[in-house]
Every structure is written in C-alpha cells, then in structure tokens.
Amino acid sequence: MSLRVLYAQQSLLNALSQTLVRSMSTQGGSKNIGFIGLGNMGNHMASHLIKAGHKLHVFDISKPAVESLAAKGATAYTKTTELAKNSDFVITMLPNNDIVNASYEEMTSDGVNKNTIFIDSSTIDPNLVKSLQKRISAKGARFIDAPVSGGVPGAEQGTLTFMVGATDEEYNAVKSILECMGKRITHCGTYGMGQAAKICNNMMLGISMIGVAEAMNLAIRQGLNPHTFAEIINSSTGRCWASELYNPVPGVTPTAPANRDYAGGFSTDLITKDLGLASGVATSSNTPIPMGAMAHQIYRTLKSQGLGSKDFSVVYDFMKNEKYN
C-alpha cells in the first residue's frame, strides 16, 4: 500500500473522529443547556453559562432563584421532564443522594432524547452514579458525574475544578461546557471516579477547617493577633485553602462567610453529609479514616446544636464560644 493511500486513510479517520467529537461538543455555537438546582453554587454556575452565550433552561423549587436567572435571560420550567426534552445537556447541582435520585427518576419518567448528556455536579455516592448511568444509558441517553471543588467563591468567579467520571468521548463532549464555569477540568476515569475524588477532597477539607479553627482559637487565647497569626500560617507550613481563602475567624479574610455571621457558603449540613459519604465508602473499601471519622462526629455535633444551616467554618465559633465548652 502506498504512502499516499495510507495518508489519505489516516486523514479520513481523523476527519471522522473530529466530526464525532464536534457532534457531541459545544463548539460551533450556542447549545440548549438545562440546569436544575440554583442554590448558592448553582446560581453562579448557571449565570456563567448565560454569559458564555448558551440558551439556558432552569428549574428549582425556589421561585426567587428561578426568577433571578429568568431575569438574566434563562427560560424557566415547572416540569423537569419538559426541561430535559428541550436540552442538549442537563446539569444537576443538588444537595444529596435522595434528591438526586428522585430528580432523575422524575426527569426521565417520560423518556429522554438520545442525544442528551446528563451531567451531575452534586456530591453523591459513587454507587448511585453507577446506578444512574446504567438506568439512563438503558433509556438511550448518557449520564456522567462531574462534581466540583472551589466553593461559592469558585462558582462566583468561574474558577471551579471539575472532577469528571466519563468515557474519553463523553469527557471531550462536555469539556467546553464545563470550562464556562471552571478553570480546571480533570478526567478522573470512568463513571463514579469524579465522585471518588470529590469525596476524598471534601473529607480533607473538613479535617483542615477544623485544624485551622483549633489553631486560630489557641493562638488568639494566648494573646496573638489573629491577622498576624494568619499571615504566619499562610507563609509557612500550616498554609491551606481554609486558612488562606476561607479563614474561619471574622475579619481575617474579607470575603469569607465568617464576616457574615457564617451565612451562605458551604453549609454544615452539606459537609456533614459529605463526611458521611466518606465514612460509607471507607467502610465498604475497608479503609481506615480516623481523622475523617472524628471530623464527621464534630460536624454532627454542630448540627445537633442547630448550626446545620451555617457555613461549615462556624466550627471556629463553636470552639471559641464558652457556652459550647
């Protein structure tokens, strides 16, 4: 076979490959994107998709949340089944396993468009991801997991990290959409691997926030100025995201929820849920997580004190407040 023929065949294969990717990707113009779950994170994420020029279809149980997106140009829906049928891609950003499962059961109850890709950016059990993928693929559509890290600041600034569990083809199909909302899009492997990465990351986050809260409280009680000590931490070995960008002491990080009486942000309810997921995965894989288990117990205690709706950095206030000791 001549080199000319080989080259022509290779060119044809490359062209077919690119055509397939383009047919599943957002490149080439605006796409119809459904977004379900317009909370502290989802509202900002959806807004970035509108700014990028996509046609957004939204649903949330909160009427004000829907109205705020509609005012920016999104189309509001009262039925997720209709939203899904009018969307090339559907992104879900929901609180927990049960709500995610129920939402997908309802949304796909009347069938699905075979070209639709469902992207779940919630934090849920990897086993639920695999179950949903099987159910939705059996209906003819696609489902992948793409949880996020970066918190509300990352969602607001469009700098989130997405951890994607999908095939190579699906990853390439959704990457440009996720790039509208995030700075780093990482392919973690097959279905559920995005959630595996997210659960481990959030366990680490819960542990580190407690560590920062403990250290700041101890330093302040010894007479150290909190700003001075925070500067020391953030220029030495104690530096971490919780100390530098989300310090739990009021006044230290101007944009942190600590300055708003721990309102908004990433709730204690959610970090407790995520640590519970980590505990379940650890049990099923026979993996010791002594620090993760302790962090889970501490946040469960905060919930029992009525602090579930507060940002998880409220653990500092819990520790320094004498009435909790």
- What percent of the chain lies above the pLDDT cut of 90? 86
Task: Check residue 29 and give its pLDDT.
Answer: 72
Mean pLDDT, the chain, rounded, equals 91
Per the residue annotation, which of 31, 175, 198, 273 is the catalytic one?
198
Tens of pLDDT, residue by residue over 105-129, are 999 999 899 989 999 999 999 999 9
| Residues 186, 189, 12: CA angle, nearest 5 degrees | 85
Topology of the domain covering 2-191: Rossmann fold (3.40.50)
Quickly count: other Cβ atoms within 10 Å of residue 51's Cβ.
Answer: 13
Which pTM does this prediction carry? 0.84
The ranges assigned to domains in the chain are 2-191, 197-320
pLDDT greater than 60 at residue 81: yes
Rounded Cα gap, residues 201 and 151, in angstroms: 12
Closest residue by Cα to residue 54 from 40, 64, 39, 69: 69
pLDDT digits (tens, 9 = 90+) for 148-163: 999 888 999 999 999 9
Give me the CATH code for the 197-320 domain, please. Answer: 1.10.1040.10
Q: Which of 26-30, 72-76, 165-169, 205-209 has the lowest mean pLDDT?
A: 26-30
Does the pLDDT value for residue 6 go beyond 50?
Answer: no
- The DSSP bridge pattern shows strands 142-145 and 148-149 to be unpaired
Tell whether the model's pLDDT for residue 11 goes beyond 80: no
198 labelled catalytic: yes
